[in-house]
Chain A
């Protein structure tokens, strides 16, 4: 009953409303004429009809040449008519529902935008100008003021605004009564307070408009008076901020180990131009370096830089390398658990300053590690007749501390010229004490019966102090002609190493007949000081000589000075005596001149290049037992080599890529390998240089194919690599049949070759829930070595097949599994009876569960099998880790975690390797079961990593 009443009332109201407007048509025509203030027509002006509700565009038309326009047959309703014409303030008029079939608005007068405003703001400054009735909006960034300027300085730059000496502001000729910040009054109503105190940097927009007077606002009664008001809109501060995190954890002593602890933290502060970060870590849980993520947080915008290689070469980028040039000047990035037991500490600071023209990055980083390694090693070495086994027990403690400084400055001189300066330096302090106990057993061919032949015990203490610094200056020039470019670079590198070794060894030879030869004691102090200075320069010129074709030419110059002073003192009872056969002083000068040229074709994804370089290399050296010696001997050698290069990159249709190439690597003999110096640090394994050594050439052919279907997520990759060696530098082995002392000498051998292949196929079993990946690696190698002056050929055939399963069925459960089985067949031409098969299999699984109440559970198991049936070697090691963690608080910024590492207490590092004429198994005692309770606070919130992110 009630409802019917209500309905009746409603009906009544509607009919009354309808009755009030009986003649209102449902469709009508809207017309008018766009004119300027002098009634001249604005021909072709744009006329738009917008919905009054949300300004959405309903219809539009163009005015005719006399400015007239008409919208025909439009639905009755509320509209906004908008007319725009270049140089005029857009015209807006509200259209109420029509009463007649034709609504003629007559002449609609449009006001021109102030000439000054239009030309300066819109055309010259390219700033968006907002015109809402009387409001004009200036984009502050379009008006340049020096750093530190106040808003007053900024206002002085704005067209249509004047600021007098006292700071009074006038806009469009009227005095500004009020300045607001983000629409709010700033320190009362004195406009000067805001403009004199506020930094121009903080302002994003300046709006000038007519506001109602305070009186009108208060009473709500329009008094018709308007006050000129300036509103300052502040910049969003999203580009400024800081983030950081800290993790601390500890675990009780157990399992024969002392208590475990780790702490790690970093903090970053940044704004639009600057990034500053600090990082620190300390632990006794074998975490040595920064993780990849830590490194990126630390270096920020300078984590990765392209084109920093000062040694220009073929576009594929390979450059000659020296045999022992292994300076590690960059910040080390290390992942998981190392072997042995290590105590680690590291810390550093990084500062980046980036503007469009200048990019500066500087960092200092210190890290130190004390590593304790206790290892057992079994090596079987094959001779032409029989073999022998070396059982080695070694205990060592190493300490290594590194200071690193990295500086990079990139300066864009103008749009065509860029200069980059890079300095990477490292100062290293290290010491090590090693005690080693070796038994060598001669094995009788068939019966495998062993007889103790030689025993060695060594105690070495060594210290070293190294300094390395590399400084490069790269200049790049672009030309007006697209594709033409020039680059020049200069590099200076210095490396020094001062090392001391106290060698104490006792060797017992049980098979020798003469009593005099049975025991040999070595007590030596060895001091080695080396200095290397290297000067390099490179030039590169690229000329586009036809459409799609480029001609590249490069030149490299390299001058290197090596100086080594090695003094060996025999410690006799009467005092130290210089050992002239082991002491040596030498100087080497190397020069390399390389000139290369290549032709490159590039079109629609087919990039093909072919080139040739010629390299001229000289080595001048002098050496003597000591620096003051008059009896110097000389090395004087030069080599000329041609280096061809081919490279292909082909972007085929439908996400298929083909790539490949041929290149030739040249390896220059290292100075150590060239000098006939005997190194007896290990008295049973002696190294000797070879002054007749030639450079090594490695010919490489590489071919690959990759396919990815982003629709079905199927991916496929295939890669084949093969190399062939000419004059390969191989260490020949001469084994004394009686003492079993091995002497190695570098020699040139031609004929070594490798063929490596990799295949990968991945596809979803069920989209987003299960992925399967199959892969295989097939590697074949043929290595040649002289063993006791007989050429031995070792053939390795390695077959590895793997599969990976990713299961991500729900948000609360993820499971990742891996399996790989590997088999290596090795054969030795000098001793076929020693042919053998190594088996390396690995299975792992990783499960994460999300439990109610932001509690997470993770458990992983890794099972490793290493087998060699020939020697009954069979190691099966399961490593089980588990952790449970809880994310705390509403803001989720903290996490507490209980972790257990190696629950089964089985951890030991096992390696198996089949070399030129030996097979080696080694096991290193490594941090096994321990427990840890840790706490993390992350300013940006802790997120549980349930699912591995595929990429950003």
Chain B
């Protein structure tokens, strides 16, 4: 009886996967930062200081609910930004301002526009997509109800190992943060073996409204990918020399 039910369910899933045009919708993500792991990478700290920080932060990290993020996509475009218009406590009773962070991708025109506020300035990064070289693995797992395959790459500037899980049946090259270029939309992203984990909580397939992909008109310093990379690289080098964690002021 039970087997039969499962079988029907399975068949149903297969048919959905095969028939739906899953190329337009919104993915909600939760982005969690694991600071004891990030702190553990600071070369200027002694092992004692790293241990101390890990012990003290243990309970806080378990309670951390993470930041809500949102990815809107269709076949040719995507937009990734915060899930809510403000930063707030779990109960919403206290709020703070978000730094500007809006990433627009156009896969058809091989074009990107990023609005990123960092280091006291607003930058507008305009360039072609510069898709990273992805290595495809053999693992599958479910994320937010979708079966995903594993892919890996490396951030050459921050020297981070990036692991992405992309949906087999949402054939769009979009993804969270500055990552894209896989055969399916990325539903989970792990930076540097889990220092930061961006995980989809909900996928809604629907027609996008023009607002979903709208970029605000913002003044900022126009740069390209190469300049962006050199700013990040210089900042990390400077901070490490000054014995300061670069990721208090840079997005990990």
Contact = CB atoms under 8 A, between A and B. Distances in A.
A and B part of one assembly:
yes
Interface of A: 42-44, 46, 48, 50, 54-57, 60, 62, 82, 84-87, 90, 92, 115, 118-119, 122-123, 126-132, 137, 243, 245, 268, 270, 275, 293, 296-297, 300-304, 354, 356, 359, 478, 482-483, 485, 542, 544, 550, 600, 602-607, 649, 651-655, 709-712, 767-768, 808, 938, 940-943, 947-952
Given A654-B120, A768-B242, A952-B39, A243 B51 contact: yes
Kindly name the residue among A57, A478, A947 whose own CB sees the greatest number of chain B CB atoms within 10 A. Answer: A57
Given A87-B14, A122-B141, A709-B120, A768 B85 contact: no
Contacts of B238: 767-768
Is the interface on chain B under 10, 10 to 19, 20 to 34, or 35 or more residues? 35 or more
Nearest to A305: B59
Nearest to A767: B238
A482 B149 contact: no
A90 B241 CA distance: 47
- If over half of B's interface residues share one DSSP class (helix, strand or loop), that class is named, otherwise mixed; here it is mixed
B3 to A, nearest CB: 8
A85 B86 contact: no
Kindly name the residue among A131, A478, A943 whose own CB sees the greatest number of chain B CB atoms within 10 A. Answer: A943
Interface in B221-252: 238, 241-245, 248-249
A652 B96 CA distance: 9
A947 B55 contact: no
A712 B120 contact: yes
B216 interface: no
A245 B249 CA distance: 33
Nearest to A54: B135
B149 A607 contact: no
Contacts of A710: 118-120, 248-249
A55 B93 CA distance: 48
Nearest to A714: B120
Contact of A301 (B9, B55, B120, B134): B55
A275 B249 CA distance: 32
Contact of B142 (A44, A48, A126, A942): A126
Contacts of B241: 768
B208 interface: no
Contact of A711 (B14, B51, B59, B120): B120
Nearest to A542: B93
A119 B6 contact: yes
B24 interface: no
Contacts of B207: none
Given A128-B141, A131-B140, A952-B49, A303 B56 contact: yes
Given A123-B142, A482-B92, 4 more contacts: A57-B181, A128-B150, A130-B140, A709-B120
A86 B14 contact: yes
A339 to B, nearest CB: 30
Contact of A43 (B18, B44, B184): B18
B242 A55 contact: no
Contacts of A649: 94
A604 B120 CA distance: 18
Contacts of B138: 90, 92, 130-132
Interface in B1-27: 3, 6-7, 9-10, 13-14, 17-18
Contact of A949 (B87, B91, B182, B243): B243
Nearest to B241: A768
B108 interface: no
A304 B168 contact: no
Given A243-B51, A941-B48, A950-B242, A607 B95 contact: yes
27 contacts: A42-B18, A44-B18, A84-B149, A86-B14, A115-B7, A115-B10, A127-B141, A132-B138, A243-B48, A245-B48, A296-B55, A300-B55, A300-B56, A300-B58, A301-B55, A301-B59, A359-B59, A478-B91, A544-B92, A604-B85, A710-B118, A710-B248, A711-B118, A941-B47, A947-B243, A952-B35, A952-B45
Contacts of A86: 13-14, 17, 147, 168-169
Contacts of A711: 118-121, 249
B53 A90 contact: no
B88 interface: yes
A483 B171 contact: no
A838 B96 CA distance: 44
B139 interface: yes
B42 interface: yes
B251 to A, nearest CB: 12
B97 A56 contact: no
Contacts of A119: 6, 9-10
Nearest to A127: B141
Nearest to B53: A952
Interface in B33-55: 35, 39, 42, 44-49, 51-53, 55
Contacts of A245: 48
Given A44-B18, A132-B138, A550-B93, A951 B51 contact: no
B62 interface: yes
Contacts of A130: 138-140
Interface in B131-155: 133-142, 147, 149-151
Contacts of A606: 95
A46 B52 contact: no
Contacts of A949: 44-45, 49, 243-244
A949 B3 CA distance: 61
B136 A602 contact: no
Nearest to B6: A119
Contacts of B86: 603-605
B83 interface: no
Given A270-B55, A485-B91, A57 B13 contact: no
Contacts of A940: 46-48, 51
A482 B45 CA distance: 40
B66 interface: no
A881 B35 CA distance: 37
Contacts of A354: 58-59, 62
Top 9 A-B pairs, shortest CB-CB distance: A711-B119, A710-B249, A943-B46, A605-B97, A128-B141, A711-B120, A940-B47, A709-B120, A60-B183
Contacts of B96: 605, 651
Given A46-B168, A126-B142, A131-B138, A87 B10 contact: yes
Nearest to A550: B93
Contacts of B118: 710-711
B38 to A, nearest CB: 9
A128 B17 contact: no
A767 B241 CA distance: 10
A296 B95 contact: no
Contacts of A296: 52, 55-56
A808 B42 CA distance: 18
Interface in B49-101: 49, 51-53, 55-59, 62, 85-88, 91-97
Contacts of B14: 86-87
Contacts of A941: 46-48
A55 B136 CA distance: 6
Contacts of B244: 949-951
Given A130-B139, A243-B48, A607 B183 contact: no
Contact of B55 (A48, A268, A652, A943): A268
Contacts of A947: 44, 243
A653 B97 CA distance: 8
B48 A943 contact: yes
B59 A938 contact: no
Contacts of B245: 951-952
Given A711-B120, A941-B48, A301 B58 contact: yes
Contacts of B97: 604-605, 651-653
Contacts of B182: 57, 60
Contacts of A654: 120
Contacts of B17: 44, 85-87
A60 B182 CA distance: 8
Contacts of B13: 86-87
A235 to B, nearest CB: 15
